[in-house]
Chains A and B, each alone.
Chain A
Amino acid sequence: MIKVDDIHKSFGDEEILKGISTVFDKGKTNLIIGQSGSGKTVMLKCLLGLFKPEKGRIYYEDTAIQDMNDEQQRQLREQIGMLFQGGALFDSMNIEENVMFPLRMFTKQKKSEMLDRVNEVLSRVNLENVNKKYPAEISGGMQKRVSIARAIVNRPKYLFCDEPNSGLDPKTATLIDNLIQEITHEFDMTTVVVTHDMNSVMEIGEKVVLLKHGKLVWQGTNKEIFKTDNEDVVNFVYSSDLFKKIKEAQLKEG
């Protein structure tokens, strides 16, 4: 569980996050949605400790990240898996070395044990026979799956995903979404996904948090999102042509 309590973050004179409070539940895929510039990525980077909020606290279980010393923060980060927008695989390493990287850095396992674990997670994300290939030699969708494999190889308690299906075709995007949800349930992780993709919201949004101009304007589940009268939610959801047409069709049917 991650609890966010009244966080504020500014860059220069511009306040990006204006007092956000929410809870990201364990064992669920929690989505942060909002238009570009709403503060989603800044919030994610605050959760990760890459940005320090000027005000407010972020709790991992019962301990605030602000109260942790350097060693505690380092230990916390070992429990975090991150899927970056572009995959962020290390170009100089092959797929096997990329996935093995967290194990080499943080465990004292033998190489054969690490290899077994690497093959296990690669097959979990449906990738086989790619161990010796380099990131530039595989497709964008495969890179995302390798990145998921690297994120979960050290059995993290928390998984963060920054726009995991950007730049992917709809079918692959759905595959990645489903994979994230399956892994979240399987390993009972707290997963936080930043996205502006409504398909992802509908597929995996067990908890959805909508940001607008740095403020939290709505939170609920993907099932509730179509029932709410909240103006910001309506504006966000029906800015998509597809959902606008679905809404019109629903209205016609009465």
Chain B
Amino acid sequence: MKYLKDIGSYFLMIKRVFGSYTKRSVLRELIFKELDDLIIDSMPIVAFISFFVGGVVAIQTALNMDNPLIPESLIGYASRQSVILEFSPTFISIIMAGKVGSFITSSIGSMRVTEQIDALEVMGINSLNYLVFPKIVALMFYPFVIAISMFLGIMGGWVAGVYGGFTSSSAFVEGLQESFIPYHLTYAFIKTVVFAFILATVPSWQGYYMKGGALEVGKASTNSFVWTSVLIILSNYILTQLLLS
């Protein structure tokens, strides 16, 4: 019963987010601030993880190729497929649920505890539009983060494969181009947009409706990570069924 109530309250929140709008000039500033906090600040960790995980994918593929009939180009092919289809869109999103999700929940939760949200409401401001809408807009730029993650993941695979002595550069590039289906990129970016919406709204819901004090802000951040990850994994499964089957 509680879950049904929570689901209802989540959708009511979404409705209110797109309700009465904050003044445009203020909203524009808030969107730029969120772009900085949620997108730009996430770039270093996304770049670091993508590059090294791409490298690990290439090395593991190379080390498992014990049949001389398997072409070296498979390393490039496997790196591309793993990074584009799953690693960048889904696993980077799980990492972002930890980084960005916790940040959103704790910042909105702290505002709830210290009555800052009540202050907005008393002034006649739609606090959900003021707080959540700029985050949704900022995270619509999330596909750019994932595009960079894809590039760096494949780059990491190339560096590890070529400089680790597992493959030649030409074989790796040949593998990258082999049986390439452009629709896989479309599929990956559709997933990314859905994950971005989850990343913006589920942590906001956790923070906005939390009750209690500082301790509960911490608990809400943990819950936010758990639920955002669960929803990303579930929607990943559903979207894969719908778009690739």
Identify the A interface with B (CB < 8 A).
Answer: 48, 50, 70, 73-78, 80, 82, 84-86, 88-91, 101-102, 104-106, 160
Closest 7 CB pairs of A and B: A77-B124, A88-B115, A88-B119, A74-B124, A82-B122, A84-B115, A88-B116
Q: How far is the CA of A184 from the CA of B220 in the complex (A)?
A: 40
| Chain A residues near B119 (CB-CB < 8 A) | 82, 84, 88, 90
| Chain A residues near B110 (CB-CB < 8 A) | 91
**B165-201 vs A, Cβ < 8 Å mask (1 yes, 0 no):** 0000000000000000000000000000000000000
For this complex, 27 residue pairs linking A to B, each with C-beta atoms less than 8 Å apart, are: A48-B122, A50-B121, A50-B122, A74-B20, A74-B124, A77-B124, A78-B123, A80-B122, A80-B123, A82-B119, A82-B122, A82-B123, A84-B115, A84-B118, A88-B116, A88-B118, A88-B119, A90-B111, A90-B116, A91-B111, A101-B123, A104-B25, A104-B26, A105-B22, A105-B123, A106-B123, A160-B122
Contact between A77 and B123, CB atoms less than 8 A apart = yes
Which residues between 18 and 76 of chain B lie within 8 Å of chain A, taking CB atoms? 20, 22-23, 25-26
Q: How far is the CA of A73 from the CA of B26 in the complex (A)?
A: 21
Q: How far is the CA of A48 from the CA of B121 in the complex (A)?
A: 9
Q: How far is the CA of A215 from the CA of B122 in the complex (A)?
A: 25
B125 interface residue per 8 A CB criterion: yes
| Chain A residues near B121 (CB-CB < 8 A) | 50
Contact between A86 and B118, CB atoms less than 8 A apart = no
The minimal Cβ–Cβ distance linking A108 to chain B, given in whole angstroms, is 9
| Chain B residues near A80 (CB-CB < 8 A) | 122-124
Residue in B116, B122, B125 whose Cβ sees the most chain A Cβ within 10 Å: B122
| Chain A residues near B116 (CB-CB < 8 A) | 88-91
The minimal Cβ–Cβ distance linking B1 to chain A, given in whole angstroms, is 15
The minimal Cβ–Cβ distance linking B143 to chain A, given in whole angstroms, is 27
B114 interface residue per 8 A CB criterion: yes
Q: How far is the CA of A76 from the CA of B121 in the complex (A)?
A: 12
| Chain B residues near A160 (CB-CB < 8 A) | 122
Q: How far is the CA of A73 from the CA of B122 in the complex (A)?
A: 10
| Chain A residues near B25 (CB-CB < 8 A) | 104
| Chain A residues near B26 (CB-CB < 8 A) | 104-105
Q: How far is the CA of A48 from the CA of B115 in the complex (A)?
A: 14
The answer, among B22, B118, B124, B125, for a CB contact under 8 Å with A73, is B124
Contact between A86 and B124, CB atoms less than 8 A apart = no
Contact between A77 and B114, CB atoms less than 8 A apart = no
| Chain A residues near B22 (CB-CB < 8 A) | 105
Q: Which residue of B lies closest to A76 (CB)?
A: B124
A86-B115, A90-B116 are contacts. A105–B122 as well, Cβ < 8 Å?
no
Residue in B20, B22, B114, B121 whose Cβ sees the most chain A Cβ within 10 Å: B114
Q: How far is the CA of A48 from the CA of B111 in the complex (A)?
A: 19
Known: A91-B114, A106-B123. 6 other contacts (CB 8 A): A50-B122, A74-B20, A76-B124, A91-B116, A104-B25, A105-B23
| Chain A residues near B111 (CB-CB < 8 A) | 90-91
Which residues between 91 and 130 of chain B lie within 8 Å of chain A, taking CB atoms? 110-111, 114-116, 118-119, 121-125
| Chain B residues near A74 (CB-CB < 8 A) | 20, 124
The answer, among B115, B122, B123, for a CB contact under 8 Å with A85, is B115
The minimal Cβ–Cβ distance linking A131 to chain B, given in whole angstroms, is 19
| Chain A residues near B122 (CB-CB < 8 A) | 48, 50, 77, 80, 82, 160
Q: Which residue of A lies closest to B125 (CB)?
A: A105
Q: How far is the CA of A232 from the CA of B182 in the complex (A)?
A: 79
Q: How far is the CA of A77 from the CA of B119 in the complex (A)?
A: 11
Contact between A102 and B118, CB atoms less than 8 A apart = no
A70-B20, A104-B23, A105-B26 are contacts. A78–B115 as well, Cβ < 8 Å?
no
